[in-house]
Amino acid sequence: MKKLTANELARYIDHTLLSPDASAEQVSALVAEAVELSVFAICVSPSMLPLTKKVGPSADLGEVKLATVVGFPSGKHSQKVKALEASQAVRRGADEIDMVLDLGLIHQGDRDGLVRQVAAVRDVIPAPKLLKVIIESAALSDDEIKLACQVSIDAGADFVKTSTGFHPAGGASVQAVELMRACVGDALGVKASGGIRDYATAIAMIEAGASRIGCSASRAILASC
């Protein structure tokens, strides 16, 4: 097993709070913890942006990046709505956008519809801001995972991401991360998210090819290094 120091592992982590009942006080605490732990980013709901307005002076992230979600968690939002959400989030300070693909289009094999959806969001996110595409890998067959990954490449995304953490099929798996990495090669990053609560699982995802980890148990994970 790969061995990483706490500082090394922290640079993989998107410290996440996407609970529907999350309060401004909880987001403030998330920010403070993220800065203390030196994680790569935090990921919060778009209603919490801009942080300086919703959270107040305690929203200073320093070098930590700010990510938010689009079309979350179902992915069943229209293409225009997803693009509007992304555009608004960028204007409100987001550095990274994690968008949920429409699983129905994946199951239908609608490559063109999926490309249009991702491209519509990509078009409103200026570089160097990042777009991650959430594919809900636990709900997909291997061929569907391959389709979702190829669509993400074709439409100009920066990452593919396993899961929202809210789908009943489950979250990240080593097998899904391995397949996603094999599909995207070095062209895109791979974010493993959903159910990652301990050091061993986080390391297993990294060894499988994850370049980013989404989790809420960051402190406990890093304390195990």
pLDDT tier for residue 2 given thresholds of 50, 70 and 90: confident
Using the predicted structure, report yes or no on whether residue 41 has a pLDDT greater than 80: yes
Q: Which of 82, 102, 132, 191 is catalytic?
A: 191
The model's pTM: 0.97
CB atoms within 10 A of CB 57: 7
For the chain, the first-to-last Cα distance in angstroms comes to: 12
Which is it for the CA torsion 114, 120, 121, 126, positive or negative?
Answer: positive
pLDDT tier for residue 140 given thresholds of 50, 70 and 90: very high
Question: CA of 35: how far to CAs of 10, 19, 57, 58, 181, in Å?
Answer: 11, 20, 14, 11, 29
The answer to whether 162 and 194 have CB atoms below 8 angstroms apart is yes
Using the predicted structure, report yes or no on whether residue 212 has a pLDDT greater than 90: yes
Residue 67's nearest CA partner among 39, 91, 97, 88 is 97
Using the predicted structure, report yes or no on whether residue 1 has a pLDDT greater than 80: no
pLDDT tier for residue 56 given thresholds of 50, 70 and 90: confident
pLDDT at 44: 98
Strands 13-17 and 130-134: unpaired
* Phi, psi for residue 132 in degrees, rounded to 5: -110, 135
Q: How far, in Å, CA of 155 to CA of 205, rounded?
A: 25
| Domains of the chain with CATH codes | 6-223 (3.20.20.70)
Count Cα atoms within 13 angstroms, Cβ side, for 104: 5
pLDDT tier for residue 55 given thresholds of 50, 70 and 90: confident
Using the predicted structure, report yes or no on whether residue 157 has a pLDDT greater than 80: yes
Count the helices and strands in the chain (H runs, E runs): 10, 8
Q: Which of 82, 132, 158, 161 is catalytic?
A: 161
Q: What mean pLDDT value characterizes the chain?
A: 97
Catalytic status, residue 161: yes
Q: Which percentage of the chain shows pLDDT scores above 90?
A: 96
Give the tens place of pLDDT for each residue, 74-129: 999 999 999 999 999 999 999 999 999 999 999 999 999 999 999 999 999 999 99
The answer to whether 171 and 194 have CB atoms below 8 angstroms apart is yes
Q: How far, in Å, CA of 190 to CA of 133, rounded?
A: 9
Q: Which of 14, 98, 102, 158 is catalytic?
A: 98
